[in-house]
């Protein structure tokens, strides 16, 4: 199965579509690096822009989470962000948003009935799916859904620590069975959905993308400012499942390297962050505290230069529904050592663009990294292969084109008479 898994039939002459992208908690306007702001925000923003580049009119519907937000913001040409009044106009953790999804759905219905119906809905994350499904059924609109993460996987890995609403898995099944098509981000997700009872032939595999103009090997490089021979970088949300504890444990076997951890709160609030305190304690216990640096939140504009400064980029998550960081690192020509889970099984080619190792295994992580640090030529070869892989498969133009094909299959299905 290729990353873009389904060659689709023609749905008639290509025409501009009015598209509603629904992303209840992940606004394309949000600052990245917080607990609930990461890959989905990037995905929705970039997909919307790439679809607009193909001539479509895109509106992103996201929850109003601050009092001073205007109803509509023009994100760029062809893309508008609409802030939906659902619940209090303040930040709420995404696991507390379910009670407000009925209000979210009613707003969508009212807006579309009195304004203009979109040609189709593409919802992102399960609660957006619930709200969109209600509106789609009421108004007779075709709907596609991208999960970004599945409750079954989260429950399997987090157990009692999972804070998702108890109804999440059942609701995800309802969305999968009720929508016209699923736009899955990796093969592992399709397998998981099939185990949930959602037919695999209902899903098209379309990966997340990366901006290959911003993320490229040439360009500014962040200064290291340290005396360590090698730099290892871990970038992303600062939550336990991302595996920074595994990276810290592996560092004990890599005496010439420093580990830079980027993400989380602003630098001036790192001392108050529970996850930072936990990781610092682990670093002290492993005897590597002097070789671990926490940068805190990094501005989007500074991420490419930071990636270029690394000898190896680490992505050791316990589970990863897709994972944007490996693509960004590969686009910058940097080798990746990632856990063999979720979307990383698709994106990282083992022994070609980096290494895949078992999750939660610091010895395996250290061994893979040590092999790369000892061989500059191998690092360079993996980095060049990673760049080629990203530009050939994961540019946003390719992702938008594949997503559009899924849209047209859904629209064609609505036009095809039912068999007797």
Q: What is the pLDDT of residues 381-394, one digit of tens each?
A: 999 999 999 999 99
CA 180 to chain centre: 22
pLDDT in the model for residue 225: 80
Structure tokens at 312: 């190896």
Asked if residues 278 and 211 have their Cβ atoms less than 8 Å apart, the reply is no
| Closest to 148 in 3D by CA, of 175, 180, 185 | 185
- Check pLDDT > 60 for residue 420: no
Domains in the chain and their CATH numbers? 18-209+395-415 (3.40.50.2000), 230-393 (3.40.50.2000)
- Check pLDDT > 70 for residue 11: no
pLDDT in the model for residue 38: 65
| Greatest C-alpha distance within the chain | 74
- Check pLDDT > 70 for residue 10: no
| Closest to 411 in 3D by CA, of 58, 122, 113, 24 | 122
pLDDT in the model for residue 34: 44
- Check pLDDT > 80 for residue 33: no
C-alpha span between 124 and 319 (Å, rounded): 19
Asked if residues 209 and 45 have their Cβ atoms less than 8 Å apart, the reply is no
Residues with Cβ < 8 Å from 239, sequence gap 6 or more?
35, 275
- Check pLDDT > 60 for residue 313: yes
How confident is residue 226, by pLDDT bands cut at 50, 70 and 90?
Answer: confident
pLDDT in the model for residue 39: 74
pLDDT in the model for residue 8: 43
- Give me the residues paired with residue 234 across strands: 261
How confident is residue 12, by pLDDT bands cut at 50, 70 and 90?
Answer: very low
Structure tokens at 135: 């509106």
Give the chain's mean pLDDT.
92
pTM value is 0.85
**DSSP conformation letters of 61-119:** EEE--STT--SEEEEETTEEEEEE--S-SS---GGG-GGGHHHHHHHHHHHHHHS---S
């Amino acid at each position: 199965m290729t990353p873009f898994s389904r060659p689709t039939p023609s749905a008639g002459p290509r025409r501009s579509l009015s598209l509603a992208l629904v992303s209840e908690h992940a606004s394309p306007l949000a600052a990245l690096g917080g607990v609930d702001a990461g890959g989905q925000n990037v995905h929705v923003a970039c997909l919307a822009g790439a679809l607009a580049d193909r001539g479509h009119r895109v509106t992103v519907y996201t929850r109003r989470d601050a009092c001073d937000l205007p109803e509509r913001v023009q994100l760029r040409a062809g893309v508008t962000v609409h802030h939906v009044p659902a619940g209090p106009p303040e930040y709420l953790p995404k696991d507390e948003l379910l009670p407000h999804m009925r209000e979210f759905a009613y707003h969508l219905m009212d807006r579309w009935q009195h304004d203009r119906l979109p040609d189709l809905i593409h919802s992102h994350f399960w609660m957006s799916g619930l709200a969109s499904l209600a509106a789609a059924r009421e108004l007779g609109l075709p709907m596609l859904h991208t999960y970004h993460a599945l409750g079954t996987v989260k429950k399997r890995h987090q157990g009692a620590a999972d804070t998702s609403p108890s109804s999440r898995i059942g609701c995800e099944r309802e969305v999968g069975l009720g929508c016209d098509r699923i736009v899955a981000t990796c093969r592992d997700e399709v397998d998981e959905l099939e185990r949930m009872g959602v037919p695999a032939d209902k899903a098209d595999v379309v990966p997340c993308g990366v901006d290959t103009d911003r993320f490229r090997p040439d360009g500014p490089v962040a200064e290291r400012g340290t005396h360590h021979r090698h730099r290892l970088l871990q970038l992303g949300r600062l939550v336990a499942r991302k595996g920074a504890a595994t990276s810290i444990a592996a560092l004990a076997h890599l005496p010439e390297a420093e580990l830079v951890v980027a993400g989380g709160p602003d630098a001036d609030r790192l001392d108050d962050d529970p996850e930072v305190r936990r990781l610092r304690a682990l670093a002290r216990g492993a005897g590597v505290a002097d070789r671990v640096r926490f940068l805190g939140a990094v501005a989007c504009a500074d991420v490419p230069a930071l990636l270029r400064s690394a000898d190896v980029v680490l992505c050791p998550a316990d589970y990863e529904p897709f994972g944007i960081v490996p693509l960004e690192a590969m686009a910058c020509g940097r080798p990746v050592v990632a856990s063999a889970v979720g979307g990383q099984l698709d994106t990282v080619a083992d022994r070609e663009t980096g290494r895949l190792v078992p999750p939660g295994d610091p010895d395996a992580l250290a061994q893979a990294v040590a092999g790369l640090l000892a061989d500059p030529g191998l690092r360079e070869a993996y980095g060049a292969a990673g760049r080629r892989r990203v530009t050939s498969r994961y540019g946003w133009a390719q992702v938008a084109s594949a997503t559009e094909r899924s849209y047209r299959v859904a629209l064609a299905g609505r036009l095809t008479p039912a068999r007797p």
